[in-house]
Structure 1
Amino acid sequence: MSADSTHAVEKDDAVFHLPGHPLPALVTLDSTDGSGVDLFMLSLRRPVLLNLFSMPVRDGRVDLPSVAQHECAQQLRSVNAELDALKQQMPELAVLGLSLHAPECLRRVREDLQLRFELLSDQQRAWTDKLELPLQSQDDGSQALRRCTMLLVEGQVSRLDFPLRQPSEVGRRAIELLRRETGTM
């Protein structure tokens, strides 16, 4: 692992193990387009920019009416706004979001926010647990993914950006992450 690959990581033990980590194989995640996605296999065919996010929960359910004002909406809109620039930086790039929420909920969020990329559900935490992704406790006691951007290439985590303190900057920071990967600063 080069020093450059951890540039955006602030020596946080929650993600220290991720750069260069092989992706779990044979884990299919439900996509908002109704398909199943194996990120290991997809990353063998093309680079994948994966945005980890969580949504507000009330009484054990996603509080859909408040999602549009939540930080997750800022994060997802930021990526959506930079989608063309991301694809220009890396034309074969697949851009996806990942959450622990149910696929039906993610479909509604994708539609409500008018996202031009698909969201993946790891509701059973099969992928999350195998990679030991960073989690945080929600108000209702459940666990949610911490905001993070990962670049997946050739079956492993190539680069990541964590922590992401400003949700509105996630898209711009993703462009910088791709520039570091391609060496075009």
Structure 2
Amino acid sequence: MGANSAHAVEKDDAVFHLPGHPLPALVTLNSTDGSGVDLFMLSLRRPVLLNLFAMPVRSGQVDLGAAAQHESAQQLRAVNAELDALRQEMPDVAVLGLSLHEPECLRRVRDELQLRFELLSDRQRAWTDRLELPLQRWDDGSMALRRCTMLLVEGQVSRLDFPLRQPTEVGRRAVELLRRETGAM
């Protein structure tokens, strides 16, 4: 993907405001490893590659049977498959996923998909709403994050990749995003 396509991504109405946007401070998100993560503080210490995703939900729980075949599962697997390449491109990068699901649901997703990175829960949408992240409405009326990859550096959104129409390409595109960032430094 060349510079023109990266520029076009940033012009999408749903994310036009995000490049250079400061991150919300003092918002702690629950991680699947049981810790709390403040993405603003973490991004001050090291770059953060954040993958926004949503899984199908049934009765308030992630439907793991449907989730395993869902596009977001393909997205997370694609990132997982490129984890070594991501860390080779940017050795100190923290790779995380973000969803509006409960932490327990996300732990099951992480374990079922055998992910080598943690997932964060923004169930109350404190972080999502402050950044005005792109949302979609499910058939049951609930809201979910739209697929997006964001690079968070020094307390702000440095780069992003949106929309992500081919979930199996998300990992490769994330490597390219990091490559563009390291080339710009």
TM-score, normalising length from structure 1?
Answer: 0.94
CA distance in 2, matches of 1:87, 1:173: 14
State how 1:1-185 maps to structure 2 within 5 Å.
Answer: 6-7=6-7, 9=9, 11-183=11-183
CA distance in 2, matches of 1:95, 1:119: 9
Query: RMSD in angstroms over aligned alpha carbons?
Result: 1.6
SS in 1 for 2:115: coil
Which of 116-125 and 62-71 deviates more? 62-71
Q: Closer, same or farther in 2 for the Cα pair 1:12/1:179, shift >3 Å?
A: same
CA distance in 1, matches of 2:42, 2:126: 17
Contact 1:59–1:140 under 8 Å retained in 2? no
Deviations 1:41-94 (A, max 9, x none): 000000000000000123443222211010011000000000000000000000
CA distance in 2, matches of 1:116, 1:45: 21
CA distance in 2, matches of 1:122, 1:8: 28
Contact 1:6–1:19 under 8 Å retained in 2? no
CA distance in 2, matches of 1:127, 1:93: 20
Please list every run of at least 4 consecutive aligned residues from structure 1 whose deviation after the TM superposition is greater than 6 angstroms. none
Deviation at 1:6, TM superposition (A): 4.8
SS in 2 for 1:174: helix
Deviations 1:81-110 (A, max 9, x none): 000000000000000000000000000000
Which of 59-68 and 44-53 deviates more? 59-68
Deviation at 1:30, TM superposition (A): 0.1
Which of 51-60 and 97-106 deviates more? 51-60
Contact 1:56–1:70 under 8 Å retained in 2? yes
Deviation at 1:139, TM superposition (A): 1.2
CA distance in 1, matches of 2:155, 2:118: 20
Gaps of 5+ in 2: none
Gaps of 5+ in 1: none
Contact 1:25–1:38 under 8 Å retained in 2? yes
SS in 2 for 1:179: helix
Q: What letter matches 1:140 in structure 2?
A: D
CA distance in 1, matches of 2:155, 2:42: 8
Q: What letter matches 1:9 in structure 2?
A: V
